[in-house]
Amino acid sequence: MLMLDRAFQFTASGGPGFADVPEGSVYADAVKVAQALGIAQGSGSYFYPTRPLSRQQAAVFLARAMRASGWSFTAGSRSDLSGFSDGAAVSDYAAADMAAMVRLGVFQGGSDGKLNPQSSLTRAQMAVILCRAITL
């Protein structure tokens, strides 16, 4: 959330927060703002900030952040993911947003023809994805 907050320079007031996001942590305010904007919805009162972020979760967060910033784009469909050998592995909750990010060229498959939607995302990979998104 911190990378999204910095990339999009959100100015909204924060939400109530999540029980597992420590006050005073470097990312606490960014998570609260993302919560207030509907980007971070969590699971009940938990956000699980120490768990690795998957590529499909990143696509959902990014699509929500782009919409919160006023971007308008068409939701994708499973057919947009069919060109990848693991396109069917994208979870239902993430399919439309992952497909939209693929259609925009923000998310790209690897040389192996896979999206790897369940794989963890590194900060470096997220930086590349954010660069692609904000320079569209």
> For 44-96, what is each residue's pLDDT tens digit?
899 999 999 999 999 999 999 999 999 999 989 999 999 999 999 999 999 99
Long-range contacts of 87-90 (CB under 8 A, 24+ apart): 87/115, 89/115, 89/117, 89/118, 90/56, 90/115, 90/117
39 and 61 belong to one structural domain: no
46 pairs with which residues across the strands? 43
Cite the beta strand spans of 18-89 per DSSP E: none
| Cβ atoms of 116 and 84 closer than 8 Å | no
- Looking at the structure, do residues 42 and 75 belong to the same domain, yes or no? no
Domain of residue 44 covers 1-51
Q: Are residues 68 and 112 in the same domain?
A: yes
Same domain, 108 and 46: no
136 plus 102 within the same structural domain: yes
pTM: predicted TM-score of the whole model, two decimal places: 0.93
